[in-house]
Structure 1
């Protein structure tokens, strides 16, 4: 006999945990299933370098970072915006702080204390968890899972899918669910890398700069502009500044760096006209413009032969075109664009083709930069889907 629950949530990332939380809060029996041996692996990985929970800013500024999906996600994020994320974290007993750029972190910086507190709360609400349970579709009306004990079926009145995108497959987001939904006629947008590093075939002299941070720059790809930082890696460029404009690069826009975004071109040119004497060009750039070795290396890498005329050199410094080989492969991206299309869902994130099945998190066709936006979007859509599923259960 198949087990029976009011609701089954498949996927234990932030969206899945939030959906399970909402369903249990409404008084429903909930089974939470995870294909991996442990839950929330991507959330734990994100916390290794400091868990950026959200961004403390006005809603209009926050929603702008969700690009083409902003209008679709607006009602969900209005109900669970950056302020709401902070309130939720404090309710779990997590002390938080806001950095100088508005990014919000737990004081301990790690994600594990927050996850432990959240799982304890779900346990207290009697949410049952199963790990190593991989969803393999439907057996008639029942959900079918491949488990260490063989194939298992579960009957549920509603299902929330929070299966992630197609990046970091070793952490659980492998996109294998797409065939199950497309087979039911669900409209999907193809996956593409988002928040991805840039591949660059460096010349040999750049090896000395591998690992160097690039600060004090502006990056632009099409309409996307960032004042974030980047890092020179052996394979190219990565870091928050690159990730936030990677969607523009993906769409074919050239990537241009402004190495001195706080100075106008004429001011840069004027400083370059000062006598150089016997100083090397690198020393001249360092003294006159306060360019550090990392930015000088980029200028020489992408701008050689450097123009001698101050105005032309200033123009190059203010708009340095980056020669690259595209974005890193999709499995190396932090997140993905693509997934379940908006047109496949109703206003409650329920699949039109499969009544009673809801979707949330990165498996939906939206993208947002790191810096708190991505996690906020996952939490907000998980909460929205969980509440809609609870409402669906309460209807005759």
Structure 2
């Protein structure tokens, strides 16, 4: 075999696509019974392919200058053209997120696999990587000599879909510790908040240190999750101490404190506190519950307005690594050259989420996985071709 690709997720499939298109004979191995399992899971919520953003914005979101060449070579526009080339039309939502019109991953994956098979790519499933070119299979240990290898073995979350992080003990060498990314957080809710489990909290701003995100999140039985929380998950995680971390909620981000104060000065008359608050500020339901969760409501209008603009929420811990949408940590870039080849293992390349980078949800993750896979696949084909003449 000329190019061996370990891992059948987006990065591995992208590597196989580019390497086979260059003329290399490619084998893709996957430890699960089928490829693209996490890709299909993402497709259940619409399959956010990319973000309609410039290469510079993509690079900034991914937080690693080392990814710049890959993201410039395969940017958001290229992702959309690639999807259309597979017969999947795309559209851009109001947030700039790009989705297939089909709003699921299975049609795109089927078309992608058909292309790979037409290019001669071979697949072996239920093959667990043991290191080097050795695999544990149902038929015993198999060895696949290859002129170049692309490792695209994922991160360490959603292990049931194949990203179990077990490769870290096989690969060896210095690795950045795995940490959850794009995850929810636990908090010690009062019994009253249990009734709001599953309720969306819309139109809020979240503050943590110098970081600010506007959007929405969801109250879970034991904490908070959802897009606005995920967008702040890295600074919240990094600020987490033994006692947890403080998050502030602005429950009325479109209204300033002075205006809220004037509205709260209206007499209550016979209204309950809940009705008076709703009539004066529009806060009700889960927002009003969160306001009360921060402690007794101040009677002074100015102090109450300040509470609405900065409702405290104490987070105790991140949700477990295996529940995280993605992970930080993995192979550090100082172990790789510009081709994403391991400097201590010639002709072995790394791609995708196993690299030490993280990005918020919104299409950045998938774009960078595919971009690094394509980059590593092209480099692997070149190195294999130096011996085969392809």
TM-score of the pair, normalised by structure 1: 0.94
Distance 1:120 1:292 in 2: 52
The residue number in structure 1 matching 2:332 is 341
Structure 1: segments with no counterpart, 5+ residues: none
Query: Take 2:148 and 2:58, find their aligned partners in 1: how far apart are those partners?
Result: 31
1:332 to 315, 323, 327: 323
1:82 to 76, 84, 97: 76
For 1:36 and 1:307, the matched residues in 2 are separated by 56
1:171 aligned to 154, 158, 161, which one? 161
Shift of 1:355: 0.6
Any conservation in 1 of the 2:205–2:249 contact (CA below 8 Å)?
Answer: yes
Partner of 1:16: 12
Q: Is the 8 A contact 2:291 2:308 kept in 1?
A: yes
1:187–1:343 Cα contact (<8 Å) kept: no
Deviation at residue 13 of structure 1 after TM alignment: 0.8
CA distance in 2, matches of 1:392, 1:233: 49
Give the CA deviation at 1:276.
2.2
* Partners of 2:261 and 2:301 within 8 A in 1: yes
Cα distance in 1 for residues equivalent to 2:381 and 2:246: 46
- Once the 2 structures are TM-superposed, how far is the Cα of residue 187 of structure 1 from its aligned partner? 2.2
1:272-351 paired onto structure 2 within 5 Å? 272-301=264-293, 303-351=294-342
| Structure 2 unaligned blocks of 5 or more | 240-244
SS of 1:156 mapped into structure 2: coil
Cα distance in structure 1, aligned partners of 2:196 and 2:340: 47
- Indicate whether 1:257 and 2:249 are aligned: yes
Whole-angstrom CA distance in 2 between matches of 1:180 and 1:45: 26
- How do residues 140-151 of structure 1 correspond to structure 2 at under 5 angstroms? 143-151=133-141
Cα displacement (A) at 1:283: 1.8
Name 1:52's counterpart in structure 2: 48
Listed one character per residue, the Cα deviations across residues 330-359 of structure 1 (whole Å, up to 9, x for unaligned) are 011111000000111111110001010000
Shift of 1:233: 1.2
Q: Which residue of 1 aligns with 2:213?
A: 226
Give, in angstroms, the shift of residue 50 of structure 1: 1.4
- Map of 1:385 onto structure 2: 376
CA distance in 2, matches of 1:222, 1:11: 38
SS at 2:147 equivalent: strand
Give the direction of change, closer, same or farther, for the CA distance of 1:224–1:29 in structure 2 (3 Å limit): farther
CA distance in 2: counterparts of 1:296 and 1:77, whole angstroms:
43
CA deviations over 1:136-180 (Å, ceiling 9, x no partner): 013xxxx00000111100000100000011101111011111112
**Could you tell which deviates more after superposition, 304-313 or 7-16?**
304-313
Q: For residues 73 and 225 of structure 1, what CA distance do their matches in structure 2 show?
A: 25
| Contact 1:133–1:147, Cα closer than 8 Å, also in 2 | yes
Matches within 5 A, 1:98-109: 98-109=92-103
**What aligned pairs does 1:115-126 form with structure 2 within 5 A after superposition?**
115-126=109-120
Q: 1:395 to 1:222 in 2, by over 3 A?
A: farther
Equivalenced residue count is 382
Give the counterpart of 1:93 among 87, 92, 97: 87
Give the secondary-structure state (helix, strand or coil) at the position aligned to 1:62: helix
Please report how far the alpha carbon of residue 228 of structure 1 lies from its aligned counterpart in structure 2 after TM superposition: 2.5
- Cα distance change of structure 1 residues 54 and 292 upon mapping to structure 2, 3 Å threshold: farther
State the partner residue of 1:217: 204
Provide the secondary structure at the position in 2 that maps to 1:50: coil
Q: SS where residue 33 of structure 1 aligns?
A: strand
CA contact (8 A) 1:338 1:365 kept: yes
Alignment partner of 2:357: what SS?
Answer: coil
Could you tell me which of 174, 178, 199 is aligned with 1:187?
A: 174
Q: Tell me how far 1:278 sits from its aligned partner.
A: 1.9
CA distance in 1, matches of 2:117, 2:81: 21
Verify: 1:241 aligned to 2:237, yes or no. Answer: no
Instruction: Write out per-residue CA displacement over residues 274-333 of structure 1, whole angstroms, 9 at most, x where no aligned residue.
Output: 2222222222222222223111111111x2112111121111211222112111000111
| Worse overlay, 310-319 or 335-344 | 310-319
Aligned equivalents of 1:221, 1:33: Cα separation in 2: 42
Moved more, 122-131 or 367-376: 367-376
TM-score by length of 2: 0.95
Pair 1:63–1:280, CA change in 2 (3 A) = farther
